[in-house]
Amino acid sequence: MNKEITNILAPVAGVGAVAAGAGFVLGTLIGWLLVPDAMRPWQFGMIFALVSLLLVLLCAAPYVWRRYSGQS
């Protein structure tokens, strides 16, 4: 059972990590260019990374549910 869960969640975790990293970089650049006075650019990058990660997890939820519940 644990190997099955690992096989399901490993791709989702990998995509989530890439999305969070890309979101942080992109958010930091946007924060540096557009809102440097409102907050520090890395803070905007962290917000952007968390939002990106949340969107990836929300989009992956139906995929994980179908795989975990055995439905095709």
How far apart, in whole angstroms, are the C-alpha atoms of residue 21 and residue 58?
17
pLDDT at 1 over 60: no
Structure token digits, residue 36: 């440097």
The values of phi and psi at residue 39, to 5°, are -155, 170
What DSSP character marks residue 56? Answer: H
Contact 41, 25 (CB under 8 A): no
What DSSP character marks residue 72? Answer: -
**pLDDT tens-place string over residues 35-52:** 777 678 888 888 889 999
Query: With the C-alpha atoms ordered 40, 30, 48, 23, is the resulting torsion angle positive or negative?
Result: negative
pLDDT at 68 over 80: no
Domain locations in the chain as residue ranges: 13-69
